[in-house]
Amino acid sequence: MRIAVLALQGAFLEHEKMLRELGVDCFEVRQLQDWQQKKDGLIIPGGESTTQGKLLRDLGLLAPVREAVESGLPVFGTCAGLILLAHDVEGNSPSAPVPPRLGTMAMTAARNAYGRQLGSFHTEAFFKGAKCNVPMTFIRAPYIMKTAGNVEVLASVDSRIVAARQGNQLVTAFHPELDADTHVHEYFLKMIKNR
Ligand code: GLN
């Protein structure tokens, strides 16, 4: 198994480290040429979704990545990655043009909706994908305001959805790559194996 990790900006190194700990091979996607390699899944890391969206567009990656996800390539988006996958986003600056994104998952993400300070916290909550509690680190986090279609809610914190899955797409508003617990990554690897 070989996983592509989008490495344009943000916390991609931590995902790579976790994958290696789990014995899984990965490679960084920094340009279109990297994307051509054979891959079994894609991780879109946390960071800054506006920056990542613009880079995806400017590097010519937006359309091919969207096409791959729509054709069933398993994808795991954390935090900014969740925003990039969301079909709709609330909380973008009303005066700026709407930042480019993949928009493949049937949900509305609320961006920076906790407020600057409250968006960063650590907790533990039930993750349905592993049937146990997992640590959750939130950093200026989004949450999922609304889901549609066959989106399955996998975790909520204070009645806000913070993890969900729709077919081949998995998202978390928190950063499992920043904690030692590997349950969420293992769940993603299972999604790939069961494909
Ligand atoms: N607030 C960031 C954004 O809107 C996401 C934060 C994160 O990925 N840790 O893109």
Check if 77 has its Cβ closer than 6 Å to any atom of ligand 1: no
Q: For domain 2-193, give its CATH number from 3.40.50.1100, 3.40.50.2300, 3.40.50.880, 3.40.50.300.
A: 3.40.50.880
85-111 residue pLDDT tens: 999 999 988 898 999 999 999 999 999
Question: Is 79 among the catalytic positions?
Answer: yes
Structure tokens at 27: 């490679």
User: Ligand 1 pocket: which of 14, 44, 48, 136 to mutate (most atoms <8 Å of CB)?
Assistant: 48
166-176 residue pLDDT tens: 999 999 999 99
Structure tokens at 172: 């978390």
CA-CA distances (angstroms) from residue 56 to 31, 81, 123, 195? 9, 12, 31, 26
- Nearest atom in ligand 1 to 50's CA: 10
Residue 89 Cα to ligand 1 midpoint, Å, equals 12
Question: What are the boundaries of each domain within the chain?
Answer: 2-193
C-beta neighbour count of 50 within 10 angstroms: 20
For residues 174 and 177, what is the distance between their CA atoms, to the nearest angstrom? 9
Check if 140 has its Cβ closer than 6 Å to any atom of ligand 1: yes
pLDDT at 117: 67
pLDDT at 114: 75
For residues 73 and 68, what is the distance between their CA atoms, to the nearest angstrom? 6
Question: Is 177 among the catalytic positions?
Answer: yes
Q: What is the chain's percent helix, strand, coil content, to nearest 5?
A: 25, 35, 40
For residues 99 and 53, what is the distance between their CA atoms, to the nearest angstrom? 6
Question: Is 185 among the catalytic positions?
Answer: no
- Does the annotation place 139 within a ligand binding site? yes
From the candidates 15, 79, 87, 185, which is the catalytic residue? 79
12-70 residue pLDDT tens: 999 999 999 999 999 999 999 999 999 999 999 999 999 999 999 999 999 999 999 99
pLDDT at 119: 81
Instruction: Kindly tell me if the per-residue pLDDT of 2 is higher than 70.
Output: yes
